[in-house]
Chain A
Amino acid sequence: MNIDHSAKFIPRPTAETQHYWDGCAEGELRFQLCLSCGHRQLYPRLICTQCMGRELGWQAASGSGEIVSFSIVRRAVSSAYAPELPYVVALIKLTEGPTLMSNVVDCDVASVVVGQAVELLFESWTEDISVPKFRPVD
């Protein structure tokens, strides 16, 4: 299906998230790694949420994770999302630890379950913005 993403809520990077979105555009999901205590986190911040340290690096996720929870949207948030109904909104816990919201795609929505193993893919929305999505691992 050829989807028109142009009217969706397109992420607008800020100073602290630019590196994250640059990664997505290059096919890499980056999370922050605290250089003081080793904590891994999303979303990107000025500080480590565990030790309040300000020295943070980045690491590329392997792309594997599992579904923490999900909901199947039957009534789209706006007309831009309607062509993909029904679609799955989920919380995905990456193997490396951080959790993020995304969609579970390329599957029968009725087959999605909590705990399911998923793998990362990217959808290109604009020249600058690609958005991370996940699909079930067979």
Chain B
Amino acid sequence: MTGLRGKVAIVGAADTELGSVPHMSATQLCVDAALRAMADAGIEKKDIDGLITCNSMAQPYMYHAEAIAEYMQIFPRYCMSAGAGGGTTFSVLHHAASAIATGMADTILISMADSLRSGLSRDQAMAMQSSSGHAQFETPYGATVPAYYGLIAQAHMAQYGTRPEHFAEIAVACRHHASLNPGAQMREPITVDDVLNSRMIADPLHLLDCSLVSDGGAAIIMTRAERAGDFPHQPVYLLGAGEGYGHEHISQAHSLTTSAAVDSGRRAYEMAGLGPADMDFAQLYDCFTPTVLIELEDLGFCAKGEGGDFVQSGAIKLGGSIPVNTHGGLLSHCHPGNPGSMFALTEAVTQLRHGAGARQVAAAEVALLHAQGGIMSSHSSLILGRDRQ
């Protein structure tokens, strides 16, 4: 079953200013990302007939994509606001691809941004994030989002002997990549000891095991593969896509240590006709360090339970067998909430165009991208490549 394989290409991609951007509202960041991606693709708004956004926490609209279309004076034939949660950031790519493959749209702009750092107080941000828990059976107990992920980390430690030093390696690798990326928010290299000595947030997770809180946005332009050669840059083709769902609330998870990334990855690999060994780099959702460790296992880069040894081996750093989060990830590059994975996407495009400079993965041809939402609840995996075949 080939489905969507090779049917669409990404022909424009761009990030906004990011990190601390108090002079731009979340809405402005979303529109700015769109304009930059359009410029990257060399197109005007008349060339766009589809729009996808996600709602903003700092500046929400009841119907977000519709509001952005109005702001930009675009009148699309395809318009969708993605549901909340990091995982849906990638699932929209196959929705967009299906729309293009079936003729419901031709050229779709996907733009997402938020202003979590400047647009929300710390208390507002905490309250919004903890509202993902079950109102009757989780939030009364005072859990924070780091605590939900702490449950996952603790279970992996108890079951497989994984240690905090293993999780810390992931933060170190992401920061190393960010140090090579002029656009990253945090660029000062860190060590495993730096991570372990940083303030404990929710055992076993320290401050440096947790992603950033940022302002920023990113956008891409997607169109039919047949016309991808008409644009200024090397096209990046969608080769595989898959979703997986195991639970919504962590207290209902069937397993704390194996996730539905197993399913989303398998589906994406099947569509692409490829496997983990074919990937040149991987952008893995890193809201907290343990998610990356589990994703490495569940997506087939190492055996279940061996994620700790794997991340200590050097495999996930540039030069290793599977560099992870070449831009620095949510941990060190930027995390504005729901749009976070968009930066993994624009980075993957930059890498596959061979435009990543000091952090370029040598001869990058194919990449796996993974996003998750909720608490390791909803999963989307994508495979992108330079070659349509």
Residues of A within 8 A of B (CB): 8-14, 17, 42-43, 68-78, 81, 84, 87, 89-91, 99-103, 114-115, 131
- Assess whether B136 is in contact with A77, with CB atoms less than 8 Å apart: no
* Chain A positions within 8 Å of B98 at CB level: none
Q: Is B140's CB under 8 angstroms from A9's CB?
A: yes
Residues of A within 8 A of B188 (CB): none
B221 to chain A, nearest CB (A): 39
Question: B135 contacts which of A12, A91, A103 (Cβ < 8 Å)?
Answer: A12
With A71-B150, A73-B147, A74-B201: A101-B126 Cβ-Cβ less than 8 Å? no
User: Do residues B140 and A131 form an inter-chain contact, with CB atoms below 8 A?
Assistant: yes
Residues of B within 8 A of A91 (CB): 151, 250-251, 256
Complex: A72 Cα to B206 Cα, angstroms? 11
Q: Is B143 engaged at the interface, CB distance under 8 Å to the other chain?
A: yes
The number of A-B residue pairs with CB atoms under 8 Å apart is 112
B135 with A9: CB separation less than 8 A: yes
Contact B154 A100 (CB under 8 A): no
CB pair B126–A11 under 8 Å, yes or no, is no
Known: A77-B126, A100-B251. A11 touches B135 (CB 8 A): yes
Q: Are A69 and B136 in contact (CB under 8 A)?
A: no
**Is B123 part of the contact surface with A, judged by Cβ < 8 Å?**
yes
Contact A73 B140 (CB under 8 A): no
Chain B residues lying within 8 Å of A43, measured Cβ to Cβ, are 134, 136-137, 252
Give Cα A13 to B135, complex, Å.
Answer: 10
Q: How far is the CA of A9 from the CA of B136 in the complex (A)?
A: 8
Q: Is the interface of B mostly helix, strand, loop or mixed?
A: helix
The answer to whether B56 has its CB under 8 Å from any CB of chain A is: no
Query: Residue among B123, B141, B256 with the most chain A CB within 10 A?
Result: B141
The distance in angstroms between the C-alpha atoms of A81 and B147, with both chains bound, is: 14
CA distance A43 to B138 in the complex (A): 11
Contact A77 B137, CB 8 Å, known A68-B256, A70-B151: no
- A73-B144 in contact (CB<8A): yes
User: Which of B123, B154, B202 gathers the greatest number of chain A CB atoms within 10 Å?
Assistant: B154
| Alpha-carbon gap, A11 to B139, bound state (A) | 8
Q: Is the CB of B155 within 8 A of A68?
A: yes
| Complex CA–CA separation, A9 to B142 (angstroms) | 8
Say whether B211 faces chain A, with CB atoms less than 8 Å apart. no
A14 to B137, CA, bound (A): 12
* B200 close to A (CB within 8 Å): yes
The answer to whether A103 and B141 touch (CB under 8 A), given A13-B136, A68-B256, A72-B203, is: yes
Determine the chain B residues whose CB is within 8 A of the CB of A90 once the complex forms. Answer: 151
Q: Give Cα A76–Cα B144 distance, bound, in whole angstroms.
A: 7
Q: Which residue of A lies closest to B123 (CB)?
A: A78
Given A72-B202, A114-B154, answer yes or no on A11-B136 (Cβ-Cβ < 8 Å). yes
Q: Are A78 and B126 touching (Cβ within 8 A)?
A: yes
